[in-house]
Amino acid sequence: MELNKLVEIQRDFSERAFPEFWRISDRRDLVLRVEYLSNALAGEAGELANVVKKIVRREVYGGPGEPLEGAVDKVEEELTDVFIYVMTMAALLGIDLEKAYFRKLKANEERFLRPSR
């Protein structure tokens, strides 16, 4: 499935689940929605970092936590939450994530894969 289709599916779900969120009457409303999604995205990224912290604490330092194999499901869940907020923000702002990804990939190829001079 193409990424833009996933964004469309996520927007449809979000509009049905949270219709008030999508009622945007002016620029201020839009900016507040972007702020909310940015904060939610940061929160989910923090939850992912916390899962990884516990893996490292156990695997590297021998402390309490989960082994990597036991935490993959939690990593998957938090990555998916991050992805959901990324898709929702892209939908809100009309960002074509596929085009943006390939544009960024090209820039990264030029930056990291160009021959040394």
Domain positions in the chain are: 3-112
Is CATH 1.10.287.130 the classification given to domain 3-112?
no
Which residue carries 């940015």 as its tokens?
A: 38
Q: Which two tokens stand for residue 117?
A: 């001079």
Q: What is the pLDDT of residues 38-53, one digit of tens each?
A: 999 999 999 999 999 9
Which pTM value belongs to this model? 0.92
Alpha-helical (H) ranges within 1-117 are 3-17, 27-59, 68-93, 97-112
How many angstroms separate the CA atoms of 95 and 7, rounded? 10
Instruction: For the chain, give the percent of residues with pLDDT over 70.
Output: 98
Residue 115 pLDDT > 90, yes or no?
no
| CA 22 to chain CA mean position, Å | 19
